[in-house]
Amino acid sequence: MSEHETWQDARLLEAVGAGDRRALEVLYARHAPWLILRLTRRCADPAVVDEAVQDTFVAVWRTARTWKGRGEVAAWIWGIGVRRLLDHLRRRPAAVLPAHEQVMVSAEEQVLLGIEYGELGRALNQLSPELRAVVQATVLDGLTTREAGRLLGIPVGTVKTRMMRARALLREELA
């Protein structure tokens, strides 16, 4: 096991920001598998998912220095990944898809665009990174509190508490 593999995500991301390619390899090995699974829930085309994942880690390499150290690295990577998937879905010609898949991709894209740019998106952006990460993991990705806790590196009770606070803040913001 290399020294990098024992590092926490924040330290790895700092090293990536300083140009450490081995740190990026470890971050990729640690996060690409779950990112692939989560993006596959939104898009059935493995080629598109693979491209989105690769683009995500290129973006991580290029923008690691912009991470402010708030929130979880996994949540930050997820935000990049879902935006890269949306970019690929937008560029994808609808004519090459079977009719049943066009409807699914189109509906999914509309929902994700509405979340990112609509009233809900603005309300989500008002949340702290910690609360937003829990909402993304549990509501948008459909993870259980246990899965969200594992992904975000926090206890299940913390996931539940943050979700309760996020719901209250979202209710106020959207009222």
Q: Please tell me which of 62-66, 74-78, 137-141 the model is most confident about, judged by mean pLDDT.
A: 62-66
Q: Using pLDDT thresholds of 50, 70 and 90, give the confidence band for residue 111.
A: low
| Residues 41, 54: Cα–Cα separation, whole Å | 17
Residues 62-91, mean pLDDT to the nearest whole number: 84
Structure confidence by residue, pLDDT tens digits, 6-55:
789 899 999 999 999 999 999 999 999 999 988 887 777 899 999 999 99
The reported pLDDT for the residue numbered 61 is 95
pTM: 0.59
Calculate the average pLDDT of the chain. 81
| Residues 43, 35: Cα–Cα separation, whole Å | 12
Structure confidence by residue, pLDDT tens digits, 86-98:
788 777 655 444 5
The reported pLDDT for the residue numbered 157 is 94
| Residues 127, 55: Cα–Cα separation, whole Å | 26
The reported pLDDT for the residue numbered 148 is 79
